[in-house]
Structure 1
Amino acid sequence: MASSFIVGDKFRKRVTGLLEKRDSSFPQGLREELESVVGQREAAAVSFGTIRKLKKYLHDHGHPLYLHEVLEDSSLHLPEAVKPPRARNPELVARLEKIKAKLANEEYNRITRNVNTQEINRNGTLADFGREVRSAKATVVTVLNFLVTVAATFACSYIGSQYLFKETSARVISAVISASVVGLAELYVLVRTMEGELGEP
């Protein structure tokens, strides 16, 4: 916490001017404190207490010089915070080391959790993989079933329509219509089944 000012050149000049007047009402203790500050060549510090005394003197005697003018180029002196030395308590040091080791171990586990195969098995990742394979297999079987059903319907309609139509174009058209109807029905059933599976919790 700041307790003093580092004085500047304006402070030195104005205070020197005050001290040269040899005013009898000027307090002797304040004069000595200010002379010791002004007399120093390097950066000198003046305490808040001395500044308060100077302010009181200027105020009481109606001096035209104001305190903010005196301190215009001065700056606060902020001493460095001194950290208290840590006591060499072996129990405290051992406890701190234990906490550091624990934190380092947790950080290591967090970084390598995706690399540890035992942890992967424990989390059931292989089971998820098996479930995905089964789902993909079911999808492939469904698509193949759809294609086979449509192709078989087309073939049966084409062969069966030879008893109704003599022209090949009429037979193809009737087979395409039959295959389209069956394909749409299969798609409808497939979509409803998939909606039911997706709707399950």
Structure 2
Amino acid sequence: MASSFIVGDKFRKRVTGLLEKRDSSFPQGLREELESVVGQREAAAVSFGTIRKLKKYLHDHGHPLYLHEVLEDSSLHLPEAVKPPRNPELVARLEKIKAKLANEEYNRITRNVNTQEINRNGTLADFGREVRSAKATVVTVLNFLVTVAATFACSYIGSQYLFKETSARVISAVISASVVGLAELYVLVRTMEGELGEP
């Protein structure tokens, strides 16, 4: 936080002119502080307290010189922030937490990597999984074929009460088998989408 000004040439000239007047009402402590600041050749800093005293003096004695004119080319002195030393226990805890988080991230990334899958021959579990998948596919296809065939047979036999000609019976059986086959395909596709996680 700023607590002083770095004074410029205008400050030096105006304060030097003020000090040369040898006014008896000029406070001695303020005179010494200002002379020490003006006497320095390099960039000098003057504290806010000294500036407040100077402002009070100028205001009390009705001096035509205003404070903003005195500080026109001065700048705030902002000291560098001093960082406190880090607590070694805290640093050690932070390192442990970072290592733990990095390990968890690594485990999350590699959780679906199976070193047994790298083996070209595969494992018995992989073989079992493939057999189950093939079995489910075969059962689904057989179910579809049996359903369509049974629908055709039922429609063909049941249509003998409606139609006398064989061609009409075959056409009605094909139409009903097609409708049931399409419905079965729709259900099959929706089931496969559900297994794949799609809406």
1:17 CA drift (Å): 2.5
| 1:20-60 Cα deviation digits (max 9, x unpaired) | 32222212222222122122222110112211211111111
| Contact in 2 for aligned 1:120/1:126 (Cα 8 Å) | no
Count of aligned pairs between the two proteins: 199
Segments of structure 2 that go 5 or more residues without pairing to the other structure are none
Shift of 1:184: 6.8
Check whether the contact 1:58–1:66 (CA below 8 A) recurs between aligned residues.
yes
Q: Distance in 1 between matches of 2:138 and 2:69?
A: 90
Q: 1:175 to 1:61 in 2, by over 3 A?
A: same
Q: Matched residues in 2 for 1:189 and 1:95: separation?
A: 56
Counterpart-to-counterpart distance in 1, 2:121 and 2:38: 76
- In structure 2, the CA distance between the partners of 1:44 and 1:113, relative to structure 1 (3 Å rule), is farther
CA, structure 1 residues 124+43, in 2 after alignment: closer, same or farther (shift >3 Å)? farther
CA deviations 1:99-151 (Å, max 9, x no partner) are 66656655655555554769999999999998898578546533442234324
Is the contact between residue 116 and residue 122 of structure 2 (CA under 8 Å) also seen in structure 1? no
CA pair 197-107 structure 1, distance change in 2 beyond 3 A: closer
In structure 2, the partner of 1:169 is: 167
| CA distance in 2 between partners of 1:193 and 1:29 (Å) | 94
Q: In 2, distance between residues paired with 1:154 and 1:126? A: 42
What CA distance in whole angstroms lies between the structure 2 residues aligned with 1:42 and 1:192? 85
1:122 aligned counterpart, secondary structure: coil
Quickly say closer, same or farther: Cα 1:112–1:79, change in 2 above 3 A: farther
Identical counterparts, % of pairs: 100
User: Residue by residue, what CA displacement relative to the aligned partner does 1:51-100 show, whole Å, maximum 9, x if unpaired?
Assistant: 12111111111112222332233222122233455xx9998887777666
Closer/same/farther in 2, CA of residues 131 and 73 from structure 1, 3 Å limit:
farther
* Closer, same or farther: CA 170–94 of 1 in aligned 2, 3 Å: closer
Q: Which runs of 5+ in 1 are unaligned?
A: none
TM-score with structure 2 setting the length = 0.61
Q: SS at 2:76's partner residue?
A: strand
- C-alpha separation in 2, matches of 1:103 and 1:191: 42
Change over 3 Å in CA distance of 1:2–1:150 after alignment to 2? same
Q: Distance in 2 between matches of 1:110 and 1:123?
A: 26
Query: 1:76–1:162: structure 2 CA closer, same or farther, 3 Å change rule?
Result: same
